[in-house]
Amino acid sequence: MQTYDWIVIGAGITGASLSYELTQQGFSVLLLDADPDPPSATRFSYGGIAYWSGTTDLTRQLCAESKAIYQTLSAELGADTEFREIDLLLSISPESNPEALIQNYSHFADPPKFLTVEAACEREPLLDPNGIAGALTVKHGHIDAGKTARAYIEAMQRSTGVYKIATVKTLISGGVSTSDGDFFAANTVVCIGALTRQFLKDAGLLIAQYFTHAEIIEIPRSELRLNTLVMPAEAERFKLEAEATRDDRVWDQPGQEPAPAILDAGAVQFLDSRILIGQVSRTLTDPNAAIDAVQSEADLRTKISQVMPKVGELKGTWQHCLIAFSRDRLPLVGAVPGAEGLYVFSGFSNPLALVPPLARRFAIQATCDRDPLLQQVLPERFI
């Protein structure tokens, strides 16, 4: 019976990067996922890397490490992550106060700069000048998260890793039980995003993680060209997360909605011309909750058309995925309280900026002494 050093459950960007980094430290790794191409947060990621957005010593350090990693990641993995720097355009609605928004962004490591309506439309000609009162802009990293996850997986397989498609049914002593049998390891790490809380609860373990239902429109190909990644300057997501986590207990009750849904209108185009329009976010406690896709798509088109009318007219397909988050905007990285040899790597509100450096630090820590930085993101901080 083969025993691995590490079993990693979940092959999205979190599990893929962590598996790779563990192999780089010489560990034998088994990476498991139920689906080779699931409709996940990785699959429908905007691909944005907000390494300008650090606000504390911790997040500024991680963002700086992230920026350094991405510069050479394609070469390191031997595959194109499609990393580039693009202009992030944070649109300011006509009813907003630009001066107040500029002040709100002043505490970031690299504060976005104000653009007049005319300057914003020069930067992004698809903007409707009547739909904005200006914009904020900053250089923003960008990748194709799906291609990057696959690159990590292929690189870990060339090293000391094994990738297997199998549904993990439950945790067992020293390993996991799957649809393809039992597998064993000295350590197991859960990287299944929004499903982490319920998975651990089924094993009798508690963790303070939550999730949103994210709804977008995917345009597979378009002759329309976006010059920038457009998002609202007054994004409501963090307010939603704060309101939805006031009562942890409600997340163990199916059919609840801890906070009203929000719609942050934005769009991004990838190098293959695919466009994503988003996004509606709902805090429904049932991961399989029914959502009115027709109404959701109509709402998305109405909102994005106020900012970029031509984008709102594009034919596309409504898509849905789940996005994990924690109570304090920081991820949950480290040992699961009350379970020896079990870890979690999830709950990222700024995933593409924080996952690579934290995956690397996690793997290095597994070979030596505790990393003081990682002590700040342990799941036990919410006990």
Vertex 231, ends 319 and 61: CA angle to 5°?
105
- Helices 351-365 & 13-24 angle (0-180, nearest 10): 30
Q: Does 105 have pLDDT greater than 80?
A: yes
Q: What is the pTM of this model?
A: 0.97
Convert the pLDDT of each residue in 113-137 to its tens digit: 999 999 999 999 999 999 999 999 9
Q: What is the reported pLDDT for 189?
A: 99
Q: Which domains does the chain have, with CATH numbers?
A: 3-81+144-208+328-382 (3.50.50.60), 85-135+210-325 (3.30.9.10)
Assign 383 a pLDDT band (cuts: 50, 70, 90).
Answer: confident
Q: Does 96 have pLDDT greater than 80?
A: yes
Assign 369 a pLDDT band (cuts: 50, 70, 90).
Answer: confident
Distance CA 314, CA 132 (A): 21
Strands 342-346 and 181-190: what pairing? parallel
Strands 175-178 and 168-172: what pairing? antiparallel
Convert the pLDDT of each residue in 199-231 to its tens digit: 999 999 999 999 999 999 999 999 999 999 999
Convert the pLDDT of each residue in 308-335 to its tens digit: 999 999 999 999 999 999 999 999 999 9
Asked whether the CA dihedral 40, 41, 42, 44 is positive or negative, the reply is positive
Convert the pLDDT of each residue in 181-205 to its tens digit: 999 999 999 999 999 999 999 999 9
Q: What is the reported pLDDT for 32?
A: 99
Three-class SS string for 289-358?
CCCCHHHHHHHHHHHHHCCCHHHHCCCCEEEEEEEEECCCCCCEEEECCCCCCEEEEECCCCHHHHHHHH
What does pLDDT average to over the chain? 97
